[in-house]
Chains A and B, each alone.
Chain A
């Protein structure tokens, strides 16, 4: 799919239709090797090294602001540049956030109902991560991590009333941040009043056009018109629209079903995990993947305002792909520990998602 979508842009910009595809395949190889290792690894090792790993993840998030190492693209400090390679530290942070919080909550176990141990301490770690993310600024990932963090706390045993207050406060803070950022404010307003902000609503309108033109079976692979510059960022955040246009509801429905399958099998793994850490980690990773996919699909179909979140496994982006593969690998590792037999469902899910 990426091959089809990115070729137009790559041909125009770089005179090489397969430029994006080759890079993504390279990342896929890297991701598969990494995740193969991660799946073989006992996930409990993570718990032992949770402190140094978390510190490393946070350091990387700080490094994006350091000139020379951090790369500024389109006004955002989201990337680290090391030679020709570009990394998005937020992908590492996303995984480590889940692991870190799961580790903390599994350690406190029953004291999770305390205000201090159950809410304030983990909230400090979560807050630090979120502040760094929002400073990049990366509102989409911030919102995603905030929601996932809350869910882990809830699953870990924190009182619902504490969480409710925190969530309200968090949402207020989030909106405050948005109000200070004209770009995001514009996006939000464009979502609410599309006719008043035609330029910002353009993305969304073009995305809808893609789905409409796709119909049930689509225009045929490679036959998208929307990718002919009508739909900006067709190969990244809005790739599902092109999937819809070229392959129709059949394919978009299948994508949706596959993420549903990831959710089901992920929760199943979580349920069968041998310890609390494993359970919370599996839960967090699953929610992270599926929620991200849900938000992305919501944006692309015009149900949510525009955010910069890619569709896991499918959108162009090396860090995102590697991150998603690693998450699945960790899930498999937990599943391995949960039973002698590896979970058939989750493995098949992983294999099929790669085909996009």
Chain B
């Protein structure tokens, strides 16, 4: 009895620091509580989910348990059948006595894992995971972007809005019982997880669909048209909201690892090209804004061939004398060059800066390029006249749509944006994007004048006649630029584009369409304008834009 008493006292009171530390280490339960990444919706909200987290299972096994059950062959056969893996691979992973863990297949869908679980195979177990899922696969892929293996947004909205979408994992420090379950009253520390916030885009899923369909059918109405790439943007004039943004080639977001880098490039923001005629609007706007000319001013167009400072400039459609208004309609290079000479290099440069050339638009997406506007000090004698017609200067489609957006919006430039709202899981609005003015390159009067003149481009005898939309007056400009190659310009590789807005006198939406190296037809009027037309007519009806009265169409 005395002995037992001593023993008890020793056990209770003895120095057991090492044992206690050991016990504590084995029983402490410190876990990170994972959170679901936020969802991405289009502008209409809950009905249109574009990106979400899906629960999936990693199928794992305890090879030692499988081996000791003596059913390696059976288990491998069943698993390879249900997981679609080669039997030999599965068997090789399982036939390893002494090993306690093997991952057989990651991210298995819930239904498939349930089918495996129903078999009650020895040693097979599942680990909960989530995987980012994009229900529409390649739809809106460049805007949405994707999440890399570590759960970090790596492109598009997923990247730019990562800090909101990701949420904040919780933390739990507690003790576990012998069944490895938490003992609730032993909980030391608990930091509740913050679920990822949801992101609502300005993108309208239906407009996006219209544009994607139009881009995918560029060759409609042509015999064997080929092209290297194409991109398009639709923007709301008054706010700068992006309603649609498409880049081709595209890729499946759910399988982004398999996509080539070329497909992952968002060309609407990341491809810099020489715009050609579409840029002439800057020189025209500047000349009107500076009151150097009126639409009725007549300028000699030299019958299509003009020598200036030792270099010859040609017109595609040679003319004698043209009014400034007709010069824009017929897209005369010589007339535009003469306007730029009247403006002078310094003023031209200032207007180009004011319209945003050489600067990022500041859209809330990663991967935007600033384009190329050489500083004045690098200009040669003919630079100004060439840049006025869109040569020797490079832009992104985003910049081009901003220029025409400003003209459409009474001379006020708006910052483009794709994220409308960020809403936390508990409903609080974390961030709300409002329309933001970024500059006023021209007066409202000049803008109105430009709208009137640009509307003539889509008249039956204008270069952009194929962009005309029934019921609406469309203002816009074609562009056909030779691609620069070492030593000059290519005669076969062109960039064909059309940029414009409607309704011409009270514009609601502005649209840009760019096609890279169309063959064998190469002009913006032939290739890009019809695509613009398809987008404009369907989007106008979907958005229920007010039709232009027929008298107004007839007037100009």
Contact = CB atoms under 8 A, between A and B. Distances in A.
A212 B1 contact: no
A301 B7 contact: yes
Contacts of B183: 225, 228
Given A225-B183, A253-B5, A303-B3, A213 B23 contact: yes
Contacts of B175: 225
Given A256-B4, A256-B5, A225 B12 contact: no
A265 B268 CA distance: 98
A209 B23 contact: yes
Interface in A292-333: 294, 297-298, 301-303
A211 B177 contact: no
Contacts of A253: 5, 8-9
B16 to A, nearest CB: 4
Interface in B1-30: 1, 3-5, 7-9, 11-14, 16, 19-20, 23, 27
B186 interface: yes
B17 to A, nearest CB: 10
A214 B12 contact: yes
- Which of A209, A214, A244 counts the most B-chain CB atoms under 10 A from its CB? A209
A249 B186 contact: no
Nearest to A12: B179
A294 B3 CA distance: 10
Nearest to A218: B12
Nearest to B175: A225
B312 interface: no
B178 interface: yes
A297 B20 CA distance: 22
A212 B8 contact: no
Contacts of B3: 303
A260 interface: yes
B2 to A, nearest CB: 9
Interface string B441-472: 00000000000000000000000000000000
B23 A216 contact: no
Given A229-B177, A229-B179, A256-B1, A213 B20 contact: yes
Q: Which of B5, B20, B27, B183 has the most CB of A within 10 A?
A: B5
A208 to B, nearest CB: 6
Best-surrounded residue of B11, B13, B183 (most CB of chain A within 10 A)? B11
A284 B179 CA distance: 43
A228 B177 contact: yes
A125 interface: no
Contacts, number: 70
A297 B23 contact: no
B336 to A, nearest CB: 84
Q: Which of A252, A263, A294, A302 has the most CB of B within 10 A?
A: A252
A73 B27 CA distance: 32
A253 B27 CA distance: 28
A235 B296 CA distance: 105
B187 to A, nearest CB: 13
A248 interface: yes
Interface residues of A, number: 27
A256 B12 contact: no
A302 B175 CA distance: 26
Contacts of A27: none
Contacts of B20: 212-213
A301 B11 contact: yes
Contacts of A230: 177-178
Contact of B12 (A244, A302, A303): A244
A215 interface: yes
Interface string A227-258: 01110000000000000100011001100100
B177 A249 contact: no
Nearest to B185: A223
A222 to B, nearest CB: 9
B12 A216 contact: yes
B5 A215 contact: no
Contacts of B7: 298, 301-303
A211 B12 contact: yes
A302 B7 CA distance: 9
Contact of A248 (B1, B12, B186): B12
A177 B27 CA distance: 39
A249 B8 CA distance: 7
Contacts of A249: 8-9, 12-13
Contacts of A256: 1, 4-5, 8
B68 to A, nearest CB: 15
Contacts of A214: 12
Given A212-B19, A230-B178, A260-B1, A297 B186 contact: no
B8 A252 contact: yes
Contacts of A213: 20, 23
Interface in B159-189: 175, 177-179, 183, 186
Contacts of B14: 212
A212 B4 contact: no
A297 B4 contact: yes
A244 B8 contact: yes
Nearest to A303: B7
B29 to A, nearest CB: 12
Interface in B372-428: none
Nearest to A263: B1
Nearest to B15: A212
Q: Taking each of B1, B14, B19, B27, which has the highest tally of chain A beta carbons within 10 Å of its own beta carbon?
A: B1
Interface string A324-345: 0000000000000000000000
Contact of B11 (A244, A263, A298): A244
Interface of B: 1, 3-5, 7-9, 11-14, 16, 19-20, 23, 27, 175, 177-179, 183, 186
10 contacts: A211-B8, A212-B11, A212-B23, A225-B175, A228-B177, A230-B177, A252-B12, A253-B5, A260-B1, A303-B4
Given A213-B23, A216-B13, A303-B3, 16 more contacts: A208-B19, A212-B14, A213-B20, A225-B27, A228-B178, A228-B179, A244-B8, A252-B8, A252-B12, A253-B5, A256-B8, A259-B1, A297-B8, A298-B4, A301-B4, A302-B11
| For the complex of A and B, 9 pairs with smallest distance between CB atoms | A228-B177, A229-B178, A211-B11, A249-B12, A230-B178, A212-B16, A301-B7, A297-B4, A252-B8
